[in-house]
Chain A
């Protein structure tokens, strides 16, 4: 009977839990705070506030 071979999972692969980085989430929250949408003559404009 043929032998079955499996690739050993590396430590990095074992510890990896897919989730977004903290920095990405922080960026999104800051982006949201900075983004302002206003309407002028029925047209919506986006503006980034510093």
Chain B
């Protein structure tokens, strides 16, 4: 059947009546314009293809569900769907930006090596040395637990076995060690930060 002189509204009606060829005629009539519109926004053939496909999937589902309101505006309706999907695409990319390291953009400008610079390293060393001096003021049992936990990286189970006390006692000593350490720092008006 020659559909060239048939209006969009008639083709939509035919499609809703079960004539699948009418959909083919609608797609053939408008695919160039819709694809060009999408491509002009995204400048990527594959993405344009995906959005074009999603647009017509939405069109088909809406038509088949009987939700389309025919007002003689089939093309503007499809264009609006594709426009919304293009916006969705850019929103999604904003949440998950892609870095392809092409052109002037340099991936290393947003990545750092994680190492401290010389100044920060000096400050860190100074703080660690200050803390080592401060903990010497703690009671012997608390100092012992704190040293094993922080500097020897032992578990509380290992600490309890080594010191001959229960795990709960070891935990309690650690807790009081930290409380007392904070008190010492406050009393001396020290600021330990880098």
A-B contact count (CB 8 A): 57
Partner of A18, one of B36, B53, B57, B60: B36
Partner of A28, one of B35, B48, B60, B65: B60
- Chain A residue contacts of B70, Cβ below 8 A: none
Chain A positions 5 through 48: 1 when the CB is less than 8 Å from some CB of chain B, otherwise 0: 00000000000001111001101110111011100000010100
- Chain A residue contacts of B28, Cβ below 8 A: 25
Chain B positions 44 through 63: 1 when the CB is less than 8 Å from some CB of chain A, otherwise 0: 01001100110011001100
> Is residue B127 contacting chain A, with contact meaning CB distance below 8 A?
no
B20 touches A24 (CB 8 A): no
Give CA–CA (A35, B32) in the complex, Å.
24
- Chain A residue contacts of B52, Cβ below 8 A: 20, 24
Q: Report how many residues on chain B are interfacial, defined by Cβ distance under 8 Å.
A: 24
The minimal Cβ–Cβ distance linking B4 to chain A, given in whole angstroms, is 18
> Is residue B39 contacting chain A, with contact meaning CB distance below 8 A?
yes
Give CA–CA (A18, B64) in the complex, Å.
28
Partner of B60, one of A19, A25, A31, A44: A31
> Is residue B181 contacting chain A, with contact meaning CB distance below 8 A?
no
- Chain A residue contacts of B35, Cβ below 8 A: 18-20
- Chain A residue contacts of B91, Cβ below 8 A: none
- Chain A residue contacts of B72, Cβ below 8 A: none
Question: Could you name 30 residue pairs across A and B whose Cβ atoms are closer than 8 Å?
Answer: A18-B32, A18-B35, A18-B40, A18-B45, A18-B48, A19-B32, A19-B36, A20-B31, A20-B34, A20-B53, A24-B49, A24-B52, A24-B53, A25-B27, A27-B53, A28-B27, A28-B53, A28-B60, A29-B23, A31-B57, A31-B60, A32-B20, A32-B60, A33-B20, A35-B60, A35-B64, A37-B61, A37-B65, A44-B66, A46-B61
Q: Which 4 A-B pairs have the closest CB atoms?
A: A18-B39, A37-B64, A20-B35, A18-B36
